[in-house]
Amino acid sequence: MGEFHKHVFVCTNERTGDDARGSCSPRGAAELVECFKTKLHEHGLKRIVRANKAGCLDQCAHGPVAVVYPDAVWYGGLVPGDVETIIQEHILGGRPVERLRIPPEQLTGRPLPPGLEGR
Ligand code: FES
């Protein structure tokens, strides 16, 4: 058995209440997950690239959100029509789809502290 070469994590979190950030589920996240699974299979990528439902990825204002690892490329505001583009250009072509990326300055992570760069 081999290993998966990439994972696509799609946030399917649903936040209740009136949090201004909103959440990904009401914006169509479940349909996105199914679209990724179906299209990865159609492209013969089953057991090579895995699409998974994820909890909140802490990029809520940009939902629906997906991240491709190990590339650490974050996509936001996705619609099902974007899935084929991501598979063609990023997964198969090796070039992230710049127009769909969350701008790095808007991501909520922090830079690595000194001594941990490059890990
Ligand atoms: S609810 Fe989807 S990233 Fe937070």
Which of the listed residues 65, 75, 102, 106 should we mutate to test ligand 1's pocket, taking the one with most ligand atoms within 8 A of CB? 65
Q: Are 97 and 89 in contact (CB under 8 A)?
A: yes
Q: Are 100 and 75 in contact (CB under 8 A)?
A: yes
Dihedral-angle region of residue 64 (phi above 0 means left; psi in -120 to 50 means alpha; beta otherwise): beta
Model confidence pLDDT, tens digit, residues 66-112: 999 999 999 999 999 999 999 999 999 999 999 999 999 999 998 88
Note if the pTM is more than 0.85. Answer: yes
What domains can be seen in the chain, in order of their start residue?
6-106 (3.40.30.10)
pLDDT bracket for residue 36 (50, 70, 90): very high
pLDDT over 70 at 119, yes or no: no
Tokens read off for 78? 């996705």
Average pLDDT over residues 54-67: 96
Which of the listed residues 57, 102, 108 should we mutate to test ligand 1's pocket, taking the one with most ligand atoms within 8 A of CB? 57
